[in-house]
Structure formats: structure tokens, C-alpha cells
Amino acid sequence: MAQNIGVIHAPEILRCHLDFGQFVLLCTDGVWGYFHEHEAVELVAGFGCTGVHEGAAALVTEAKNRWLLATPEATDDITAVIAWL
């Protein structure tokens, strides 16, 4: 039923090697629709590993602001998860 409204049931999987001190940034399309990957990484990296909560909040807030500028009527799912290694 959810597939009829755009929910994709097959996960996209990517394997890569990460070193200590790097981070993984997992976001919904509510972020990626308004951020280029490099721009999001730069914003989050600026908060460092001790500012994970602040980095995620800043990313989500800015994505919401950009979305509302483009479509003032409403926003949808805007979620960011950051995992520093």
C-alpha cells in the first residue's frame, strides 16, 4: 500500500571503508532534496565529533528553511543521523 505513495521497499546498500575520526551521515530525502552531499558533510564536520546533536539539528533546520522557501505550504520528512567513528 505504501508503495503507491512513493515508499521504496528495497534498501539501497553501499559498502565502504571508513577510518577513525570520520563520520557517516544518513538522511532522508527531506535533507538531500535541499543539500548537495559535500555541503551537508561540510556543515556537519564543522561541529566535530563532540557536537553531533548540534550538527544534526543545524542540518535539519537548514533543510527545513530551504524547503519552506521553495514550497511555503508544507514540509515532509526531514531526518538526519550522524555516527562518528
Number of domains in the chain: 1
Q: What percent of the chain has pLDDT over 70?
A: 99
Give the pLDDT score at 75.
82
- Residues in the chain with pLDDT values less than 70: none
**Structural domain for 16, as ranges:** 2-84
Give the pLDDT score at 13.
84
Helices 52-70, 37-45: inter-axial angle, 10-degree rounding: 140
Specify the DSSP class assigned to residue 10: S
Give CA–CA dist 44/37, Å, rounded: 11
**Nearest CA-CA partner of 80 in 46, 44, 45, 48:** 44
Give CA–CA dist 31/11, Å, rounded: 18
